[in-house]
Structures are given as structure tokens and as C-alpha cells.
């Protein structure tokens, strides 16, 4: 019955997440799960995304397929870029018409990360540089304040999917409890989670690199640290900080570095 709409940059892990969801729902509820995606349409994506008419036709085919599949019992996952706000609105109208719940799963990556994953793919699966860049430019990020983008689950590359919250959003037919995945993005920055991800990673690398030339007791980027911290520890603290900050976003992304360093100081004492 319900529809899960995947969304994100080209090569950001949508199919991987869609498969994870399929596996979860097949194992945990007695329902069939269908993934509808451009992969099944036998089209060359580089040709399609270079031609707006062809792209429109593909979108229409995918929507028609979703419409056919959405029924009382099954779960449909639409695994495509779904990067146009108006298209997501049409999908929302479709679910409203079918009186079925829906939610959006947004795989959030930076263009650098997606681009490097793209380069490491088999040649036949790769987006060309031009198409990749054009799609990143055209991307219209979801915003949970829009009813067609809500409930919105924003997933970073190292996150575990919030399966239960997604399941509740679909089957309990109520908004999931306000947690990190369903919080609105801060008003001033649509890019907040990306900034959060990038800035904390930069701080982490600065500490890690500084340790290469310092001795225990040296004051480096994190004052008071008198022991060497390995990368696994740093990553764990970064994950904790990101989880916390997603639920307490700051409007000024310029504060993220300082907040993260303070968090490290507190956690390492």
C-alpha cells in the first residue's frame, strides 16, 4: 500500500538503501515489496538526462508504474533521482488519491562523495561528468515543511536506516515521533546536514593530521587532549555529535566547528 520515494544526488546510494528497506520489510512484515526504478526501463541514463523530453517520458513511465503497483497490501519503493519538487508533489497527489501513506528517504551526500562513487563504478553504470554536474545543479532538495516531502528521513552515508520510524510513518499512519530524521531543517540553511557532515569531517582530519607531528601532551586543535586518539574514537564522537546536532540544529553553520571542538573537549576529559 504505502509508497517510499527515494531521493538524492546521482550515485548517492539510493538503490543500496532501497534494497536495505526491501529486505527489512520482507523480513519484518508479511508484505510484498516492489522496487520501481529506471534500471528496469532499459534506458541509457546519460541519453535520458541529456534530453528533457526523454527525461519527462521516463518520469511519466515511472509514475505510471507506481500507480499500477500501489495497492492495498504491497509496499512500493520508487528508486529514482526524484529531484524535481513538482514531480514529488505529483507523487504525493497520487498517494493521496490512492489514500495511502507515503514518505521520503533522502540519501544526503556531498557532490564530491557521489562523484567519487560514480567514478569507481563500472563504466556502463557511470554518469558522464557533464550529466552528473548538470543533475547536481538541477537538484531541488526536499524540505520537510512541504507536505509532499514529509515525513522526510534524511540519511547520511554512514547512518543506519531508521527502519522502525519509517515503518511507523507508513503503517501507523501518524507522523513519526520527532527524532533526528524528522526534524525540520533550519530555516536559514537548506544545506545544513551537508555542512554539518563536512565541517565535522574537516575538524576530525585536522586533529588526526596534527597528531602525526605532535607528541602526547602537545596542545593541538583540541585543547587538553594529552593522549593520542585513534580514528575510530574520533569517528565515534563525530557520529554522536552529528546525531545530537541534527536534533538541535544551529542556524549559523559557522558555529559547527567550535561546537564540535567543544564537544570533543568535553567527551575526551
Residue ranges that bind ligand ATP, judged by CB under 6 A: 8, 10-16, 117, 121, 157
Query: Of 2 and 8, which has the nearer Cβ to ligand ATP?
Result: 8
Q: Nearest residue to ligand ATP, using CB? A: 13
Query: Of 44 and 202, which has the nearer Cβ to ligand ATP?
Result: 44
Task: Annotate 175-205 with three-state secondary structure.
Answer: CCCCCCCCCCCCCCCCCHHHHHHHHHHHHHH
Query: Of 92 and 127, which has the nearer Cβ to ligand ATP?
Result: 127
Task: Tell how many helices (H) and how many strands (E) occur in the chain.
Answer: 10, 5
Q: How far is the CB of 12 from ligand ATP (least distance, A)?
A: 4
Contacts of 186 (CB under 8 A, 6+ apart): 192, 249, 250, 251
* Secondary structure percentages of the chain, helix, strand, coil, to 5: 55, 10, 35
Q: How far is the CB of 65 from ligand ATP (least distance, A)?
A: 16
Q: How far is the CB of 261 from ligand ATP (least distance, A)?
A: 26
Rounded CA-CA distance 17/22 in Å is: 9
Rounded CA-CA distance 14/20 in Å is: 10
Q: Give the neighbor-by-neighbor strand order of the sheet with 33-37.
A: 33-37, 75-79, 3-8, 102-108, 152-156
Query: Of 10 and 142, which has the nearer Cβ to ligand ATP?
Result: 10
Query: Of 15 and 250, which has the nearer Cβ to ligand ATP?
Result: 15
Q: How far is the CB of 117 from ligand ATP (least distance, A)?
A: 3
Q: How far is the CB of 38 from ligand ATP (least distance, A)?
A: 7
Amino acid at each position: 500500500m504505502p509508497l517510499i520515494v527515494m531521493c538524492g544526488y546521482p550515485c548517492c546510494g539510493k538503490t543500496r538503501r532501497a534494497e536495505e528497506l526491501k529486505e527489512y520489510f520482507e523480513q519484518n512484515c508479511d508484505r510484498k515489496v516492489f522496487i520501481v526504478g529506471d534500471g528496469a526501463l532499459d534506458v541509457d541514463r546519460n541519453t535520458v538526462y541529456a534530453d528533457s523530453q526523454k527525461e519527462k517520458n521516463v518520469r511519466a513511465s515511472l509514475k505510471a508504474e507506481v500507480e499500477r503497483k500501489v495497492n492495498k497490501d504491497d509496499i512500493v519503493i520508487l528508486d529514482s533521482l526524484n529531484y524535481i519538487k513538482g514531480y514529488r508533489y505529483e507523487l504525493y497527489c497520487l498517494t493521496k488519491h490512492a489514500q495511502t501513506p507515503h514518505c521520503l528517504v533522502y540519501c544526503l551526500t556531498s557532490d564530491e562523495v557521489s562523484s567519487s562513487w560514480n567514478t569507481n563504478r563500472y563504466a556502463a553504470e557511470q554518469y558522464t561528468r557533464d550529466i552528473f554536474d548538470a543533475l547536481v545543479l538541477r537538484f531541488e532538495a526536499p524540505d520537510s515543511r512541504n507536505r509532499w516531502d514529509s515525513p522526510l528521513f534524511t540519511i547520511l552515508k554512514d547512518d543506519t536506516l531508521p527502519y522502525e520510524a519509517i515503518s511507523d510513518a507508513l503503517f501507523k499512519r501518524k507522523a513519526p515521533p520527532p527524532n533526528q530524521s524528522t526534524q525540520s531543517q533550519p530555516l536559514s540553511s537548506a544545506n545544513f546536514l551537508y555542512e554539518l557532515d563536512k565541517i565535522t569531517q574537516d575538524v576530525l582530519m585536522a586533529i588526526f593530521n596534527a597528531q602525526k607531528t605532535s607528541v602526547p601532551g602537545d596542545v593541538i586543535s583540541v585543547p587538553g587532549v594529552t593522549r593520542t586518539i585513534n580514528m575510530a574514537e574520533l569517528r565515534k564522537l563525530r557520529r554522536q555529535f552529528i546525531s545530537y546536532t541534527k536534533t538541535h540544529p544551529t542556524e549559523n553553520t559557522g558555529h559547527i566547528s567550535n561546537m564540535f571542538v567543544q564537544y570533543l573537549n568535553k567527551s575526551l576529559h
